[in-house]
Each structure stands twice: as structure tokens, then as C-alpha cells.
Amino acid sequence: MPQKTICYRGPGAIVKNGNHTVSQFREVMKRNKNAHGISHKSCARSRKRRKCRSCRDHKIVLNKRLLKQLDTKKEQNVTKKEEQLYEKCGKCGNTGLKPCTLKQYMDFVGAEPIKCPNTASL
């Protein structure tokens, strides 16, 4: 039975062409935890914040402010509501974190469960 191949060329990649076996990719996960700040904890935190209502609301308010700032070309001040949402997001986004599975971590770092295309022909 052939070994599953994971295409990953990001920080800490072990194989030069990007084609990693599952065990090699798990090694990359361990290395990244220490060297590049892309840890299981940041993966879990990212997943948790997508589900947290105050984090989603904060993102919407922040995007509206930044779009308005781009239109007016003037810096917009942070509102009280934005500060409160940010604090609530920090609380709910960091509690009860569950470790990411291999699939979830692959999604988080942008790895694909396929063989990498040859970059020489691109």
C-alpha cells in the first residue's frame, strides 16, 4: 500500500521538493512548534476564535473601520466597542483549547494531501 504524500513547502519543510510522508510531516509539526511559532496551540486558538462570537464580531467591526480608513485616507480611532470585543475575544479564544488533528493542522498551514507539482516546469 503506498504511503500518503503531503505537499508542504512552508517553514520547516524537511524535503526539498515538498513531498512529505505523514511521519515526516509530523516531524515538521514538532519542529515548527519550537522554531517558527506555528504550533498546535496557534492552530487550536485559530479554530476556537472562528467559533467564538465576540471574535467574529470584532473581525467585522475591525474590517469596517479599516475600509473606512482606506476610503477617507485618515486614521480612525479605536472605539470602546472594538476594545471590548477584543478583550472578550482574547478570553474566549484562549480557553478550553483542544489540540488540532493532522488534517486540521494541514488546513491551518496550507499543506495539501497530494504530491507536489514539479516547480521546474512552472
What pTM did the predictor assign? Answer: 0.67
User: Which stretch of 9-18, 40-49, 100-109, 113-122 has the lowest confidence by average pLDDT?
Assistant: 113-122
Distance CA 122, CA 105 (A): 27
Summarised one tens digit per residue, pLDDT across range 78-96 is: 888 888 888 888 888 778 8
The candidate with the shortest Cα–Cα distance to 115, out of 40, 15, 46, is 15
CB atoms within 10 A of CB 4: 12
Q: Which residues make Cβ contacts (< 8 Å) with residue 27, sequence separation at least 6?
A: 14
Q: State yes or no: pLDDT of 114 exceeds 50.
A: yes
Domains of the chain by residue range: 5-121
Q: State yes or no: pLDDT of 76 exceeds 80.
A: no
Summarised one tens digit per residue, pLDDT across range 5-47 is: 899 888 878 888 888 888 888 888 877 765 555 666 788 888 8
